Amino acid sequence: MRVVITGLGVISPVGNDTLSFWDSLKEGRSGVDKLTTFDATAFDSRIAAEVKGFDPQAYGISKKEAHRMEKFVQYALASSRQAINDSGLDLNKEDKERIGVLVGSGIGSLRIIEEQFQVYLNKGPSRITPFLIPALIVNEAAGQIAITHGLKGPNSCVTTACASGSHSIGDAFNVIRRGDADVMITGGTESCVSILGIGGFCALKALSTRNDDPKKASRPFDAHRDGFVLGEGCGIVVIENLVHAKKRNAKIYAEMVGYGMSCDANHITAPDPQGEGAARAMKAALKDALLNSVDVSYINAHGTSTKLNDKIETSAVKIAFGDYAKKVMVSSTKSMTGHLLGAAGGVEFVACCLSVHDDVVPPTINYEYPDPDCDLDYVPNTARKAKIEVAMSNSLGFGGHNASLIVKKYK
C-alpha cells in the first residue's frame, strides 16, 4: 500500500507555521539566542532555541485549557491543526475510526515537575495540583489531538529520546501499510527548555557554552563545535494511503517509501563508535524503500553539533552509502533550530518533505572550519537548488535508538 504526505504543521524556533519555518531554513536563519525562560546566570550554557511569539489561542486553545496544558501538548495541538488544515481533510466527512494519531516526545514536561515540587516544599502535598500527572505524561499530546478532533483510530506514543519523532512517523507509516487506518496524524513534540532540562544537559557536558555568540553556537560538523543547543517545538504531518488521498483529490507533498530502525546496544548516551548502528538503520530504510544508496539525493542528518555525534554519523553514512557517501548532499537543520529532542524527527521530516517538493536543500549554517573526521558535502551556509528525487531523515537517540525515514517525489 502506497503512503503519501498531504499535510504539514510546524511550531519551531525559526517559525510557527510551515511557510515561515521553511523560509527561515532556506535563508539560513538561526533561532538560537540568549535564554529567556528563566534566569540562567548560574548555568554553564545560557542559550537556547526557544519558540517565540506562540499564542495558543490562535490555534483554538482557550486560556483555561492552556493553563492546564503543558507547552509540548500545546505545540502538538497547534501543529496538528495546521497539518489537518493544510491537508484539506474535512473531518466531518471522514470515518474517524479510520484516522489515528501517533505523536512522540522524548521527555514530556519537566517544567510542571519543577513547579509542583516547589508547591510541595512550600505548601505541602495537599496543594499539589490534580492536573500534575495528566499534564506531564508524554502520551498526552497524542491523546489531546484525538480528543480535540474526535479521532478514534489507532492512537499511540513513542518515547525513544531524540529518535521519538522519527519512530512515531515510521510506526504510523506501518499502521497505514497494514491497513489499520487510512490516515495518521504523526510526528514529535517537545518543550524542555527549563531549569532541569538545561541543568541536566549541562551536567552531561552536552551543551554548547558559546554564550557570547548564540547565533553561531550550533555548528554541526564544524571543527570548532562544542555541543548542541537545546531547542523546543513540534513537527506534525498528515500521512494517508494513496487511494484515500486520490479519492479526495488531495495535494501531495511527497511519497513515504522507507523506514529503518536499529539499536547500537553500546552505551546509554554515547553512540556506537564505528557508526554501525546508525548505518544499519539507513540500510534498513533503503531496503524497505526498494532503493539503492545512489538513489538518495539528500540526507537530513541528525547532526547535533556534538564532537561524538557528527564524527560517528559521518562514519555511518560512509558505511551505508559506500563510495557514494561523498556525492550525496548532507545537511543539519539543527544548525538553525537547535536540537528539539523528541520533536527533532518530526520537524526534520517536514524539512525533507519540503526539500523533495521544492527541490531545495537547506544548509548547514555556521560551517567555517572543516573537520578532517567530517568530510562529506554538508551544503555549507547557503541553501542549494538541486533536483531532489529522494530524501532521507536520520534520528539517533540516547540509549542507542536509531531511525531513518525516506521520502521521494510522488509520481
> Is 311 among the domain residues?
yes
Please identify which of the residues 302, 352, 374, 401 carries the catalytic annotation: 302
* Gap between the Cα atoms of 339 and 25, Å rounded: 14
Please say which residue of 226, 247, 268 terminates a domain: 247
**Residue type at 173?**
F
> Distances in Å between the alpha carbon of 397 and those of 36, 92, 162, 272?
27, 38, 4, 11
The pLDDT score that the predictor gives to residue 73 is 98
Task: Name which of 46, 404, 104 is nearest 230 in CA terms.
Answer: 46
* Gap between the Cα atoms of 7 and 162, Å rounded: 23
> Is 255 among the domain residues?
no
**What stretches of 68-163 show up as alpha helix (H) in DSSP?**
71-87, 111-123, 132-136, 140-149
Please name the residues in contact with 10: beta carbons below 8 A apart, sequence gap of 6 or more. 16, 17, 18, 21, 79, 82, 233, 234, 235, 236, 347, 350
Please identify which of the residues 149, 167, 244, 339 carries the catalytic annotation: 339
Query: 276-289 vs 307-321: helix axis angle to the nearest 10?
Result: 40
> Is 362 among the domain residues?
yes
157 and 300 fall within a common domain? no
339 and 299 fall within a common domain? yes
Residue 159 has pLDDT above 90, yes or no: yes
pTM of the model: 0.97
Cell of 89: 481533510
The pLDDT score that the predictor gives to residue 133 is 95
Is 167 catalytic? The answer is no
3-state secondary structure of 324: helix
Residue 371's pLDDT band, with cuts at 50, 70 and 90, is: very high
180 and 329 fall within a common domain? no
Percentage of the chain lying above the pLDDT 70 cut: 100
pLDDT in tens, 65-96: 999 999 999 999 999 999 999 999 999 999 99
Is 162 catalytic? The answer is yes
77 and 226 fall within a common domain? yes
| b/e per residue 158-188 (b: at least 16 CB within 10 A) | bbbbbbbbbbbbbbbbebbbeeebbbbbbbb
Going by DSSP bridges, is the β-strand pair 401-408/99-104 parallel, antiparallel, or unpaired? Answer: unpaired
Is 357 catalytic? The answer is no
Please identify which of the residues 157, 162, 192, 353 carries the catalytic annotation: 162
Number of structural domains the chain divides into? 2
Angle at 278 between CA 288 and CA 169, to 5 degrees: 50
Please say which residue of 221, 247, 273 terminates a domain: 247
E strand or H helix at 166: helix 164-178
> Is 252 among the domain residues?
no
> Is 355 among the domain residues?
yes
CATH number at residue 101: 3.40.47.10
> Is 233 among the domain residues?
yes
pLDDT in tens, 101-136: 999 999 999 999 999 999 999 999 999 999 999 999
> Is 168 among the domain residues?
yes
51 and 133 fall within a common domain? yes
Please say which residue of 222, 247, 272 terminates a domain: 247
> Which domain does 384 fall in, by range?
260-408
Task: Name which of 400, 403, 402, 108 is nearest 269 in CA terms.
Answer: 400
Find the mean pLDDT for residues 298-315: 97
232 and 271 fall within a common domain? no
E strand or H helix at 260: strand 254-263
51 and 72 fall within a common domain? yes
Residue 272's pLDDT band, with cuts at 50, 70 and 90, is: confident
